[in-house]
Amino acid sequence: MATTSAKRAVRPRKPLKLTYASSGVNLEEKDTFTDGLVGMMRRTYGPRVIDNPGGFAGLFRLDFNEKLFARNHKHPVLVACADGVGTKLKLAADMKKYDTIGIDLVAMNVNDMIVQGAEPLFFLDYIATPKVDKAMLTDIVKGVADACVESGCALLGGETAEMPDVYAAGDFDLAGFAVGVVDLDRAIDPCRVEVGDVVLGLASNGIHSNGYSLVRKVVKEAGLDLGKVYPELAGEGIKGSRDRGIKKKGNGNGKGATLGEVLLTPTRIYVKPILKLLASYKVKKVIGGMAHITGSGMSGNLCRALHPKVDAVIDTKSWPVPATFKFLQERGGVDEAEMRRVFNMGIGYCLIVRPTFAKAVKVHLKKLGEKVYEIGVIEKGKGEVREV
């Protein structure tokens, strides 16, 4: 039996009127933010930066003074590195405090660079965020600019990427890129390290920018309060990239720094003292090797300054371990070996020095504001670090 059915009326679909803003990206906000960065960038410029308003890339002269450049660099080699600050970003987001994380970003790069004996020339940053928050991003870039001034390098440019589909609200990411120069003959070479050389350690500002996944795990599992002042941390927490000339500690209320403020203490920048030290020995090569002590601790980083026929024997009792590390170890029940494998434990930078110059180098660095400890010696070995 045949059946009939009425045809349903098909309503015409409304034409779409999509915009970039409807997808979560506000170009006007981003452009307003980036246009406002010019002043912060310009205060990092030296005579080698070529003004390039509206350019797609920054311009930097190597030969702004040919006679000076030729005298300093007979065989110039460019040195480049890239780094971030890991999950310390999450802590900054939890604290809603963003004025120091940019310092960390620059420090992690330039401290790596000077290990090669190189002078930082310029820096680039990359910021990824779900939404342009001008106050937050301005705080971040101000920290970057402050650290570039401290490091003597130009903040030449960067990128702010607004990606709401990639990052959840409150999340963000940072990456930094630094370029420097060193004369090939003056570049640090691990092959110069000799048996009998002395290892000097420069004090850190605290945790710096490594191991924060474990730090945050301790905070969570031990039920710690980032906004609380803990008596065990009295005197910890430095407001700035260096402790030279920085008197103010804590949060300014006379009660000391909160746990969150202590944990956000920015990475110490070693550029000026190291470059001044190297410049004072233009002929004699008294520094055999150097190392930036970051993730994997002393044993995982100082070994990179050794050749396969020597070991660095480190006396772990030769410097005071800052209270922050002891606090985290006790509250988290972390083994001593694990602490030393993850954190710098109070030494942020190492130099391997000829024994006859060790005392002079130590005195020189102290005059430049560093806390210096004689922490070890070079012996015959296999390119390893032995902590005793």
The CATH number given to whatever domain includes residue 214 is 3.90.650.10
Q: Is 292 exposed, middle or buried (0-12, 13-18, 19+ CB in 10 A)?
A: buried
Give phi and psi for 234, each to the nearest 5.
Answer: -55, 130
Question: 6 pLDDT band (50/70/90 cuts)?
Answer: low
pLDDT value, residue 70: 65
CA distance 109 to 190: 20
Contacts for 35-41: CB closer than 8 Å, 24+ residues apart: 36/134, 36/138, 37/138, 37/141, 40/141, 40/142, 40/145, 40/155, 41/145, 41/154, 41/155, 41/156, 41/157
Q: What is the CATH number of the domain that holds 95?
A: 3.30.1330.10
Mean pLDDT, rounded, of the chain? 90
Please report whether residue 14 resides in a domain: no
Same domain, 131 and 236: no
Residue 230 burial (CB count, 10 A): 17
Same domain, 283 and 304: yes
- State the total domains in the chain: 2
Helical (H) or strand (E) element with 331: helix 323-332
Model's pTM, two decimal places? 0.90
CB 359 within 8 A of CB 333: no
CA distance 142 to 111: 19
Please report whether residue 118 resides in a domain: yes
Domain boundary among 120, 151, 184: 184
Question: 206 pLDDT band (50/70/90 cuts)?
Answer: very high
Domain that residue 144 falls in:
27-63+71-184
Same domain, 335 and 211: yes
Question: What are the pLDDT digits (tens) for 8-51?
Answer: 566 677 788 787 777 777 777 777 777 777 888 888 998 888 88
Same domain, 361 and 300: yes
pLDDT value, residue 226: 97
256 has a pLDDT exceeding 80: yes
Please report whether residue 324 resides in a domain: yes
CA-derived radius of gyration, the chain: 25
221 has a pLDDT exceeding 90: yes
Percent of the chain with pLDDT over 90: 73
Tokens of 115: 């290990």
365 has a pLDDT exceeding 90: yes
Give phi and psi for 374, each to the nearest 5.
Answer: -85, 110
